[in-house]
Amino acid sequence: MRGKFITFEGGEGTGKSTHAALLAHRLEALGVGVLLTREPGGSPGAEVIRHVLLSGGAKPFGPEAEAILFAAARDDHIQCSILPALAAGKWVVCDRFADSTRVYQGALGKLDRRLMKALERISVGALSPNLTFVLDVPAALGQERAARRRDGGSPDRFEAEGIEFHENLRQAYLALAASEPERCVIVDASRTKGEVAKRIWAAVNSRLHPATAPFVFEKTPA
């Protein structure tokens, strides 16, 4: 692939969407072509599946069915959005990716490891992020931030889980990041937005050297 692939992971209220967007803008300011995207979703087909999953519509069918739907959404997102962008030399900045399935459905949903591996092989194949940020905050702080962001709105399927779920989620992310230190960078996201953004930018610069990325020519529609 010609471009680079950066993912943001972590529990609820860790600031993934904010920092993915800040990084995308910063890369664009350097002249790097960027696709800012998210999971579940990121392509028209996957956005439909996102709605089914986050509304809780798939919950009655059980965690296996949810994992299959996450994989179907990911497959569509990769084929329709991520691979074409990478092939064009863009940098793809993605709010959640396959680590979310490993943690939410695998570590916490306790799904069969062979099913998880098979789904990942079918949907993701050999694609792997060049860099993954795991944004880490204590579960209680994350829940507080997520509630503030909802501003009275109702929590989605996973936000509605209890504090124990969110604490286990945090530990599962930390364990995953520790098992792949060459790809994953843990960032203390309880710090200020500016400090977190600075840490992220330093890691992107030292590991991926965006200042030397080739210019991507964007065709304007006729």
- The type of residue at 99 is D
Residues in the chain: 222
* Total interface residues for ligand TMP by CB under 6 A: 11
β-pair type (91-95, 131-136): unpaired
- The type of residue at 194 is G
Region near ligand TMP per CB under 6 A, out of 32-40, 84-92, 175-183, 212-220: 32-40
d(CA 148, CA 171): 23
d(CA 173, CA 142): 14
Counting contacts by CB under 6 A, is residue 158 touching ligand TMP? Answer: yes
C-beta closer to ligand TMP: residue 5 or 70: 70
Counting contacts by CB under 6 A, is residue 133 touching ligand TMP? Answer: no
β-pair type (34-38, 184-188): unpaired
Counting contacts by CB under 6 A, is residue 10 touching ligand TMP? Answer: no
> Is the preceding omega at residue 40 within 30 degrees of 0, hence cis?
yes
Counting contacts by CB under 6 A, is residue 39 touching ligand TMP? Answer: yes
Q: Which residues from 62-101 bind ligand TMP, rule CB under 6 A?
A: 70, 96, 100-101
In the complex, least distance from residue 158 CB atom to ligand TMP, rounded to whole angstroms = 3
Site string for ligand TMP, 111-130 (x = CB under 6 A): --------------------
Q: Where are the alpha helices (DSSP H) in 7-62?
A: 16-29, 44-54
Residue ranges binding ligand TMP (CB under 6 A): 38-40, 54, 70, 96, 100-101, 104-105, 158
